[in-house]
Amino acid sequence: MQDFIFYAERHGIELLKAGSCQFCGAHVEGGVFECHGNAHRLSEVLNFNNPEHYETRFLSVDAMALQHCELHGPWNNHIHLTRLFLIFNCNISWDYSKTPQLSNIINKYKKDRSEWLTPPPQQQRGKITTSDIVKVVSVDETIVKVREWAAEVFYAFKPHHALVSSIAQMYMDRYYV
Ligand SMILES: [Zn+2]
């Protein structure tokens, strides 16, 4: 069973099997299940071992996670939004070594804190969704489109930019000074 299905079952979230994706609004017929299938198809277009595709991979994971932010633990949203902040606003060139570093920062940050990044309403988390991403065929176009997708999602979460900027600063102070 895929993780998001397991998580939804454990948290009493009903996953709709028909129509648009209830979370991101993707124009699909099979609901969130087809939406997740669309996202997985990115792996057929991109080579995740190619450093030139790293950023696209991380941006797609972050966009997908934040558009479906009820389907994983709450602190994951801090990680995904902070990473987008670091990529878009701090021009950090992301690679696999940096994600555990960011997790360390979030682990420190969340000690003694209990907060939840209230997301934008469902289906209002960026106009671009997986149904747009799967229409793109070439690698070059995919790289451009995924960046647009992530930028839209990032913008949709603008009310939380100030909060994640403080976490991003903790990251910069720890790893870039
Ligand atoms: Zn979706």
- Where do the H-state alpha helices sit in the chain? 3-10, 31-40, 42-45, 51-67, 74-88, 98-110, 130-133, 139-156, 161-175
E strand or H helix at 113: none
Output the pTM of the full model: 0.95
Ligand 1 center–CA 120 separation, angstroms? 14
**Domain residue limits, the chain:** 3-175
Q: How far is CA 79 from CA 51, 61, 169, in A?
A: 21, 11, 13
Ligand 1 center–CA 88 separation, angstroms? 23
- Position 1 pLDDT exceeds 80: no
Ligand 1 center–CA 63 separation, angstroms? 10
Give the model's pLDDT for residue 176. Answer: 86
Instruction: Reduce the DSSP state of residue 163 to 3 states and report it.
Output: helix
The per-residue pLDDT for range 42-65, each reduced to its tens digit, is 988 898 889 999 999 999 999 999
Ligand 1 center–CA 50 separation, angstroms? 26
Ligand 1 center–CA 122 separation, angstroms? 10
Average pLDDT over residues 79-85: 98
